[in-house]
Amino acid sequence: MPHLLAIGLSWPAPQACSAGQHLLHILEQFRRHGWRVTFACPGAPGEHKADLAALGIDEHIMASDDCVFAAADAVLFDRFHSEERFGRQLRQQQPGALNLLLTCGLESLRDARQQLLRRRLVEGLDPNDFRALFATPGPQLYRQMAEAPLALRELAALWRCDLALVASDAEMDLLVNGFGVPDYLLHHCPPVAEPLAALRPYAERAHFITLGNLSQPANTDALLWVRHNLWPMLRRHLPQAQLHIHGANPSAKVQALHAPDEGLHVKGWVADSDAAMAGARVCLAPLRSGAGVKGQLLDALRCGTPSVTTPIGTEGMQGQQPWPGRVEGTAEALARAAVELYSDESAWQRAQDACAPLLRLRFDPRRHGSELVGRVEHSLGQLDELRLFNFTGAMLRQSVQF
């Protein structure tokens, strides 16, 4: 039985963040295809840690950075920080193990977009119109990323590994055509989902919802934009509208947004996120930064909840398909779209009807799961050839030994 060793700096917490859901699904796919799976972590288990043992996944708590790793055929690093911390030592102990890197959205891209947004806000331009920001061309994104030490670290870790699992096809394109990463080092590995068995109809739903890790800068920024720009416009047309803000780890800035008299309800972590999303009429996710596939929008698709978001929100998700809701680039257009979708049952129904086809086409768990395991097993049989042609990775692996 082949063995996958996954290494992370924190334990998977699928109820707290979408990255935890994505990681857990990958581990479960290997288990279903006959692999033994071990997850190793130096951190203490958090409040929302998944019960890995119940899923047939072995757990190993690392006592320190100086540890002996269980023998494995393949090693999955959960984000580049874990590769930086444990990659050198692991490769010394197990030079024949296939090295995989899970990205869950490029952190250097996320940081670059935050910097571009911050620069635009400092310039004092129209606080309602961000169409130019959302249309930032690839060369400009590359320049912003390439000048940051974070991108150097993340891309170095990617090159040192044998295969990187990339959630977004837009990020695949950026890595190949912007940074010159060979496509044989990359595998498109989006988070996957299936629609709920029964979707609640329009008449049984109420309120707007946003759902996600509330300590993440992109989510905090989106909520601040809602509070100061979108929500006043929306409430002029729907004076009784409510926005329910769900998610783990609400920051102080998010907690300060709680204003029930104005329809804003910061509810924090919710045990049953499906019930919360499935009971809402519209998901409001006006993201101005971020990377990867957005977890709350994937949840909205699963629950048949139409959404109103930006081009950054749908990046890596929509492809050439119609979006189940509306995609806009200004506060006025987002607010207007939210009001129309909330109030017009026929438009809302068309959006809900588009959720399941998009899920099947872009996020099918059976197809993506078998493709991933098949790619890993093929790479194991071609490991010497992969490393021979990844000369840049060989140089980087050699340099960290000195």
Which pLDDT score is estimated for 11?
93
- Model confidence at 398, pLDDT cuts 50, 70, 90, reads confident
Q: Is the pLDDT of residue 168 over 90?
A: yes
Which pLDDT score is estimated for 271?
84
CB atoms within 10 A of CB 179: 16
pLDDT digits (tens, 9 = 90+) for 101-148: 999 999 999 999 999 999 999 998 899 999 999 999 999 999 999 999
Q: Is the pLDDT of residue 63 over 80?
A: no
pLDDT digits (tens, 9 = 90+) for 198-232: 999 999 999 999 999 898 999 999 999 999 999 99
Which pLDDT score is estimated for 119?
94
Would the CATH topology of 3-108+138-192+364-399 be identical to that of 202-362? yes
Q: How far apart are CA 373 and CA 32, in angstroms?
A: 10
Q: How far apart are CA 89 and CA 97, in angstroms?
A: 12
- Model confidence at 66, pLDDT cuts 50, 70, 90, reads low
Task: State the fold for domain 202-362.
Answer: Rossmann fold (3.40.50)
Which pLDDT score is estimated for 64?
67
User: Are 168 and 187 a contacting pair, CB within 8 Å?
Assistant: no
Which pLDDT score is estimated for 269?
87
Strand partners, 217: none
Which pLDDT score is estimated for 5?
97
The letter for the amino acid at 314 is T
Which pLDDT score is estimated for 16?
75
Q: What b/e readout covers 353-370, taking b as 16+ CB neighbours within 10 angstroms?
A: ebbbebbeebbbbeebbe
Reported as type and span, the H/E element at residue 61 is strand 58-61
Ramachandran quadrant class, 325 (left: phi over 0; alpha: psi -120 to 50; beta: rest): left
Distances (CA, A) of 99 to 1, 73, 157, 158, 368: 18, 9, 10, 10, 19
The helix/strand/coil state of 317 is coil
Residue where the block lists tokens 């082949």: 2
Q: How far apart are CA 21 and CA 351, in angstroms?
A: 25
Closest by alpha carbon to 75, among 160, 182, 16, 12?
160
| The dihedral formed by the CA atoms of 265, 268, 271 and 275, expressed in degrees to the nearest 10 | 30
Q: What b/e readout covers 184-201, taking b as 16+ CB neighbours within 10 angstroms?
A: ebbbbbbbbbebeeebbe
pLDDT digits (tens, 9 = 90+) for 234-293: 999 999 999 999 998 888 889 999 999 999 999 988 889 999 999 999 999 999 999 999
State the pTM of this model: 0.94
Which pLDDT score is estimated for 40?
94
Q: How far apart are CA 20 and CA 78, in angstroms?
A: 10
The helix/strand/coil state of 76 is strand
Q: Which residues, in sequence order, are CB contacts of 313 under 8 Å at separation 6+?
A: 285, 286, 287, 290, 294, 297, 307, 327
Which pLDDT score is estimated for 401?
60
Q: Is the pLDDT of residue 65 over 70?
A: no
Average pLDDT over residues 175-186: 96
The structural domains of the chain, with segments of one domain joined by +, span 3-108+138-192+364-399, 202-362
Q: Is the pLDDT of residue 402 over 60?
A: no
End-to-end CA distance of the chain: 35
Average pLDDT over residues 4-16: 90
User: Are 266 and 209 a contacting pair, CB within 8 Å?
Assistant: no
32, two tokens = 């279903």
The helix/strand/coil state of 389 is helix
Which pLDDT score is estimated for 362?
95
Q: Is the pLDDT of residue 48 over 90?
A: no
Average pLDDT over residues 306-314: 98
Mean of pLDDT over the chain: 94
Average pLDDT over residues 158-185: 96
Q: How would CATH label the architecture of 3-108+138-192+364-399?
A: 3-Layer(aba) Sandwich (3.40)
